[in-house]
Homo-oligomer: A and B are copies of this chain.
Amino acid sequence: MNKDKVIKNDGVGKVRSQVFTFDSLKLENAEKLGPVSLAYETYGSLNKDKSNAILIAHALSGDAHAAGVHEGEDNPGWWDEFIGPGRAFDTDRYFVICSNVLGGCKGSTGPASLNPKTSKPFALEFPLITINDIVAAQKRLIDHLGIEKLLSVVGGSMGGQQVLAWLVKYPQSLCSAVPIATTIKHSPQQIAFNEVGRQAIMADAHWKSGNYYEGLPPSKGLAVARMIGHITYMSDKSMAEKFGRAKKGIGEPFKFTADFEVEGYLRYRGDNFVKRFDANSYLYITKAMDNFDASGGKRFEEVLRGTKAKVLVISFKSDWLYPAYQSKEIVKACKLAGVETTYCEIDSTYGHDAFLLEVAEESHLIRHFLKKVFYAYEVTGEYGA
């Protein structure tokens, strides 16, 4: 083994994904989907009382691999800095679970999976899933792990939408919830950015109405969708700090090369993404995000009423994709519903990406919130509802 390739990871170290498969799931639109597989990972150990389990919900392009390192790979999980001994999600204390969403392409059942009826990939035969369906599948996994009540459900962005769905759908099954940089429902601007990403994919001649699994995938369209995403994940300021107007040196003779560093960065991120993500999953998952309304058409405080879970809402000052006013709407509804709620707007310049990058301040908030919730249980023998 090449010495340079030895991975140092002071967190949870080597990890591997598992798969949980169950017979079928009744979807929100009444269709039945099955069998359903969910790829998941766990870190730390479930305690005797099964009272220390935390579910982490990932964002649009995330997966079950939240922490540690896979055998033979270099990069740690997407939230590695938050998960491990002594970290915000302290694996000496908590049992942390993360699963790839239903509709995803990283081990869970999605449009690229084989349709048992045809033995071909579902493609657009895959049903139009919702955030509530994603969460219903997670609930099955949690049941399977023998956990009656989660200490917390935590997630940023689309992960935060799942947190809100848990709060509404399974209020008895969680002691606390941490929605980060998220919203009760998408604004037209958020829908519009997702829609343009979808249009870019569907404009790719290789997309073929979703039936590309035997040929070339719509890589160019997906890369454009990802580039649009990346712009919205950063702030004007963080881009200026990262790139300025620096040029990449002499361009090729061709005129529309990436002259500016920011152009090269976007192309690189776009090209990288298509190696690891399925375009149809991108369509389904963004549509689930756009259709999501945690309040189900009512006022959010109405559907929250009676919830005993404690809530920590986090937003970021420079996040213009999921602006702080949307987090404040969550806080307001929680307060109106009598839910014990803490709110913090972190003063970050990173834009929406801050939920992945503001490790110190975010860890501090989460660590203390979890300790308080967990301690309440340890002392009183009960927590939440």
Interface residues in chain A, defined as those with a beta carbon under 8 Å from any beta carbon in chain B: 124, 128, 185-189, 191-193, 195-196, 198-200, 202-205, 220-221, 223-224, 227-228, 230-231, 234, 236, 239-240, 242-245, 254-256, 258-263, 266-267, 270, 283, 287, 290-291, 293, 320, 323
Shortest CB distance A196–B (Å): 5
Q: Which B residues are CB-close (under 8 A) to A224? A: 196, 199-200, 203, 224
CB pair A258–B189 under 8 Å, yes or no, is no
Q: Which B residues are CB-close (under 8 A) to A203? A: 200, 203-204, 220-221, 223-224
CB pair A239–B188 under 8 Å, yes or no, is yes
Q: What is the CA–CA distance of A188 and B255 in the complex, to the nearest angstrom?
A: 19
CB pair A245–B188 under 8 Å, yes or no, is yes
Q: Which B residues are CB-close (under 8 A) to A258? A: 195
User: Which secondary structure dominates chain A's binding surface?
Assistant: helix
CB pair B256–A290 under 8 Å, yes or no, is no
Q: What is the CA–CA distance of A365 and B140 in the complex, to the nearest angstrom?
A: 63
Closest to A186 in B: B245
Q: Which B residues are CB-close (under 8 A) to A193? A: 231
Q: What is the CA–CA distance of A6 and B312 in the complex, to the nearest angstrom?
A: 62
Q: Which B residues are CB-close (under 8 A) to A128? A: 255
Q: What is the CA–CA distance of A234 and B191 in the complex, to the nearest angstrom?
A: 13
CB pair A192–B256 under 8 Å, yes or no, is no
Q: Which B residues are CB-close (under 8 A) to A259? A: 290-291
Q: When the two chains form the complex, which single residue of B196, B242, B283, B323 contacts A188, counting CB atoms closer than 8 Å? A: B242
Instruction: List 5 tightest A-B contacts by C-beta distance, closest first.
Output: A203-B220, A188-B239, A205-B205, A188-B262, A188-B243
